[in-house]
Chains A and B, each alone.
Chain A
Amino acid sequence: MPTFDGRDVLSIRDFSKADILHILKTAKKFKQKTHPSLLSGKIMASLFFEPSTRTRFSFESAMERLGGSIISLADAKASSSAKGESVADSIRIVEKYCDIIVMRHSLEGSARLAAEVSNNPILNGGDGANQHPTQTFLDLFSILETQGTLEKLNVAIVGDLKYGRTTHSLAYALGLFNSKLHFIAPTALQMPDHVTTELKKMKVKYNTHKRPEPIMPKLDVFYATRIQKERFADAMEYEKVKDTYVITNKLLTKVKKNFRILHPLPRVNEINYEVDDTPYAYYFQQANNGLYVREALLALALGKVK
């Protein structure tokens, strides 16, 4: 396994199964024990060229909890990128003021370009529709935490599978662990070819469904995502399917004991509020896990843990 000291976190595809397990194991240690001065004297640049709430807050909170400090781009509109400075030039300048950079940018591949011009590690907080690897790590952490394993699970990935970058990365990562995937979505929003081609290459077992009901009793994990109205060319089509993918207590009558619902959040109406009180709801704990996963990634990339 390559060393994590100085390593960039750009795409889930850059990580092997052993790498992923090591990150999750480290995150678990951070959840069990606080390390208030581990990153003392280290500076994280928080460059969110695009709006973010949870990702940015959890990265900044993680850095603070480990004793590090933060320099932050408060408003992308006020930055030099708004004056036309390239991503590469912005990174070349900012890297001189910090030890590690967390960034989000609308252009796909921007984090990889940043990593090529920076001597400091880059943690990708989302590059357009491409990758959001720290979200995938926290999704995997939550699955491991609730199921005790990532191997051979039955995982439903539900909602907007065509455009949802978190669903693509999660499908790829679970594929590494021989889990069986069930893609539940309206035909127009099913998993795109480039993802299924990759899964076939990895010999991952998957199938597609239009409705969740028939497979609920066999599922271990239900990963819900939001279906956006604007994705439908025909508003009538949206009206027809919108309620099919709403999770209610009625849908949960025949699920297994270990069954858990995850969601990258924010939810709009895809999980009914009544579900929050069931033992199956795990999405808020999942969001909380983002903190420990990001603490682990910061500490690993800065060489403070091995």
Chain B
Amino acid sequence: MATKKKSTPKQKPTGQSEKLRTFKVYALKNGTVIDHIPAGKGVEIIELLKLKQWNKIVTLGMNFKSKKMGSKDIVKIENKELDINEANKVAVIAPTATLNIIRNFERTKKTRLTVPDVIEGIIKCPNPACITNHEPVKTRFTKEPQKALRVCCAYCERYFNADEIEIL
């Protein structure tokens, strides 16, 4: 895992790997780039996706300048394309993130992540008296409509803000 600062690296637009510019974080041939992560959340995403166990290269960029966000983190994962379940997990802790799937240096898909209306099996209920903390039940939360992430446990019916949420 490499940590670099300063400007945002741009993904190589075409498959001309021989003409790669000098990036602060080098371009990816195949894999996933998670961009626009709120600064400081990159490390959490690496832990969340259990990328320490991923035997290929993972690159973490912290505090890159961003026009939209001021500063942001970036995570690049070599030779791994995140599936929808993993993307949803990322969205819960980094709702502003974008997901770029790279194949042969080209971005084939860019997705702005959105937290699903029903979040299943991702969040641990912070309420110690909730049945989901005592029996093998898949947790289920519904997302409240307001902008800042707030969720309601389908079982104990309690509401929680983003800063109270723990990922399973």
Report which A residues bind B (CB closer than 8 A). Answer: 11, 13, 86-88, 106-110, 112-113, 127-131, 194, 197
Given contacts A86-B135, A87-B135, A88-B135, contact A107 B157 (CB under 8 A): no
From A113, A129, A194, contact of B155 by CB (8 A)? A113
* Pairs of residues from A and B, 10 with the lowest C-beta to C-beta distance, nearest first: A109-B155, A108-B156, A109-B131, A107-B131, A109-B156, A110-B131, A194-B159, A86-B135, A108-B129, A113-B131
Query: Which residues, 128 to 150 on B, are CB-close (under 8 Å) to A?
Result: 129-132, 134-137
Asked if B154 is at the interface of the complex by the 8 Å CB criterion, the answer is yes
Q: A109-B153, A129-B129 are in contact. List 13 more A-B contacts (CB 8 A).
A: A86-B135, A87-B131, A88-B137, A107-B131, A108-B130, A108-B131, A108-B157, A109-B130, A109-B132, A109-B156, A110-B131, A113-B135, A113-B155
Which residues of A have CB within 8 Å of B154? 109, 112
Bound Cα distance A112, B157 (Å): 10
Report which B residues bind A (CB closer than 8 A). Answer: 127, 129-132, 134-137, 153-159
Contact across chains for A194 and B129 when beta carbons are under 8 A apart: no
Which residues of A have CB within 8 Å of B135? 86-88, 113
Query: Which of chain B's residues has its CB closest to A106's CB?
Result: B129
Which residues of B have CB within 8 Å of A131? 157
From B132, B134, B136, B156, contact of A130 by CB (8 A)? B156
Main secondary structure of the interface of B (DSSP, over half): loop
Minimum distance in angstroms from A127 CB to a CB of chain B: 8
Minimum distance in angstroms from A159 CB to a CB of chain B: 21
Which residues of A have CB within 8 Å of B137? 88, 113
Minimum distance in angstroms from A245 CB to a CB of chain B: 26
Which residues of A have CB within 8 Å of B130? 107-109
Which residues of A have CB within 8 Å of B155? 108-109, 112-113
Which residues of A have CB within 8 Å of B157? 11, 13, 108-109, 130-131
Which residues of A have CB within 8 Å of B156? 108-109, 128, 130
Bound Cα distance A111, B153 (Å): 14
A–B pairs, 20, beta carbons within 8 Å = A13-B157, A87-B131, A87-B135, A88-B135, A88-B137, A107-B130, A107-B131, A107-B134, A108-B127, A108-B130, A108-B158, A109-B130, A109-B132, A109-B153, A112-B131, A112-B155, A113-B131, A113-B137, A113-B155, A130-B156
Minimum distance in angstroms from B154 CB to a CB of chain A: 7
Bound Cα distance A108, B125 (Å): 11
Minimum distance in angstroms from B75 CB to a CB of chain A: 34
Bound Cα distance A110, B157 (Å): 11
Which residues of B have CB within 8 Å of A194? 158-159
Minimum distance in angstroms from B22 CB to a CB of chain A: 51
Bound Cα distance A292, B145 (Å): 38
Bound Cα distance A233, B154 (Å): 31
Query: Which of chain A's residues has its CB closest to B137's CB?
Result: A113
Which residues of A have CB within 8 Å of B159? 194, 197
Which residues of B have CB within 8 Å of A88? 135, 137
Query: Which of chain B's residues has its CB closest to A198's CB?
Result: B159
Bound Cα distance A131, B130 (Å): 12
